[in-house]
Amino acid sequence: MMQSEYIKKTLGIIVNAIPVVLMIVLIPFIGNDYWLTGIYALIILVYLALRREKNDILFLILGFIVMFISEYVFIKTGVEQFNRKSLLGVMPLWLPFLWANAFVVIKRAIVIIS
């Protein structure tokens, strides 16, 4: 593979990761979990509206469900804990949305790499 292909793939992955990085950067600046969740939903909608790929929605839903359950189990077993507990009194409301979008980004990165 030529160096320009590596650069193109790397840039593609970086561009796809920007929404998740933005979502993470916003966490300390927006203390209201409901506002942050709304902003996350808007970021996800814009991200998917700009370029929708096959199975994006499936990965979004899968990421939401799988990571919600995983985080819930981690919290209930004492593996991790959160100070912000707006979802079922155990985790931040925005967390499953962050993970859901991360799943889409990971899926897109795999497509770019392969």
Tally of domains within the chain: 1
List per-residue pLDDT tens for the chain, 114 residues long. 688 899 999 999 999 999 999 999 999 999 999 999 999 999 999 999 999 899 999 999 999 999 999 999 999 999 999 999 999 999 999 999 999 999 999 999 999 998
Residue numbers of the domain that contains 79: 3-113
Question: CA separation (Å) from 51 to 8, 33, 46, 105?
Answer: 17, 27, 9, 12
Residue 49 backbone phi and psi in degrees, to 5: -70, -35
